[in-house]
Homo-oligomer: A and B are copies of this chain.
Amino acid sequence: MLKLKNIGIDTYRNSVAFMARDCSLYRPEEYQALKKIEVISGKKRMLATLLIVDNKDIVGPDELGLSKQAFERMGLDENSPVTIAPAELPQSLEHLRRKIHGHTLNHKQIEMIVGDIASHRYSEMEIAAFLVSCAGFMTSSEVLSLTTTMAQAGNKLYWNAPVVVDKHCIGGIPGNRTSMIVVPIIAAHGLTIPKTSSRAITSPAGTADTMEVLANVDLSMQEMRAVVESCNGCIAWGGHVNLSPADDILISVERPLGIDTREQMVASIMSKKLAAGSTHLLIDIPIGPSAKIHTQHDAMRLRKLFEYIATEIGLHVDVVVTDGAQPIGNGIGPVLEARDVMAVLRNEDNAPTDLREKSLQIAGALLEADPALKGGSGYAKAEQLLNSGEALQTMEKIIEAQGKNEAMCAGELTHDILAKEDGVISGIDCYRLARIARLAGAPMDKGAGIDLFKKIGDAVTKGDAIYRIHACFETDFAFTTKFANEGDGYTIRRDA
């Protein structure tokens, strides 16, 4: 038997095992060709990728090393005796091969694939193969099977309420932190809205990153339940709740590959909502030249797929198509976005009107899910809850319940980007601004980001500041300033 050793290398989601080339028990070349092995201790078996090591400091001939995550997943002490065996390849790979070669899969086959992905039996290469073959062609039935099997592969939440509402934006628009305004409005009204959000992967802030400026979002399932029981709603990071874990794994490969298909998006969102126990869901699809969806036609196709899946899984869904021509609100980056959110909740004079208006529309539509409310009165009710300060009070209650955080400031290194000519702002490149905010350090540096002074339609004179970059570190700052000066993402139309 080999002695188990924690190598302390962080290999993300991949489980990796390390064997000495002069291993006393196995011939590494024999296993190396397989690439995958099973690490065995009694009834415990874990699949791992095998790497051969020529360095005694890492693994000795009588040891088997495991990467950090693999060691945790195995759950044994160091020096525990283990054996290895050639990996039994996941049976579902047979179905994956069929999908690659153009066949359609049935529910059972997709269930097997999703099960193997959720239990970490697929390599990144195999996940990429699954995603790309789905991007090539996927029937509505396959999308439905993917949605339901992904939801089943993780936790399922149950709420003691007849109506559980949720909202989701398909993303791509910087700022746009409507959830943090919608949740307190809905909760103030008395409907249940247990909102879990993601952290940014490729954007400058996710709702979880921004909420974290104000409160702890790192809630266990029990903590989340307690907050929802006392406040009707929460705004928590979804990471501990383990909803649709296969989806998280797919996303980790989807993003670097830039795969962004309608089918994948719908299955991803709907599986999470199904698992979260929602009954009524509002989907926000922003359209714009630099948004994810560019045309009404594409938005309609996406809406129809959402509606089909929602009907099949028994979820009420309302899809709204919104203006995605430019960022929503003025801030981009956690601290600056949180400032906008609180300004709207506090009804401050300088609160961004676009963020306020969009949040009211979404909250209004969601309030219609309340059978007690007169049809068509949702918007007015939402406005009343916001204007009266009830939404603000509920937000403060949620913040207290989740655990209030120390106040944070915007990054102190600032640089203003100036208008290059006189005219009217006619376009803002969401993608470019997101990139600039990320380079400045967002979302890792909460205070980093961009503060917009001008939006589409605003008149500018040459030399006017159009936005301000905030950064926390000198190197990021210099790099970002240079990048923004090379292309600020704004288009100015000269007046006729």
**A54-B132 CB under 8 A given contacts A29-B444, A101-B261, A259-B100:** no
A463 at the interface (CB under 8 A from B): no
Query: Smallest CB–CB gap between A370 and chain B, Å?
Result: 41
Residues on B with beta carbons closer than 8 Å to the beta carbon of A11: 51
Query: Smallest CB–CB gap between A460 and chain B, Å?
Result: 32
Query: Smallest CB–CB gap between A334 and chain B, Å?
Result: 15
Query: Smallest CB–CB gap between A23 and chain B, Å?
Result: 13
A124 at the interface (CB under 8 A from B): yes
Which of the listed residues A21, A29, A129, A131 has the most CB atoms from chain B within 10 Å of its own CB? A129
A102 at the interface (CB under 8 A from B): yes
Q: For residue A28, which residue of chain B has the nearest CB?
A: B10
Q: For residue A8, which residue of chain B has the nearest CB?
A: B55
A101 touches B9 (CB 8 A): no
A18 at the interface (CB under 8 A from B): yes
Copies in the assembly, this chain: 2
Q: For residue A26, which residue of chain B has the nearest CB?
A: B475
Which of the listed residues A9, A68, A256 has the most CB atoms from chain B within 10 Å of its own CB? A9
User: How many residues of chain A are within 8 Å of chain B by beta carbon?
Assistant: 46
**A9-B51 CB under 8 A given contacts A128-B129, A135-B101:** yes
Q: For residue A257, which residue of chain B has the nearest CB?
A: B129
Q: Choose one: B53, B68, B97; the contact of A258 (CB below 8 Å).
A: B97
**Residue-wise interface mask of A (456-484) relative to B, using a CB-CB cutoff of 8 A (1 in contact, 0 not):** 00000000000000000000000000000
B8 touches A58 (CB 8 A): yes
Q: For residue A99, which residue of chain B has the nearest CB?
A: B132
Residues on B with beta carbons closer than 8 Å to the beta carbon of A426: none
A-side residues, CB < 8 A to B, are 7-11, 18, 21, 29-30, 32-33, 35, 51-55, 57-58, 68, 93, 96-97, 100-102, 123-129, 131-133, 135-137, 253, 256-259, 261, 444
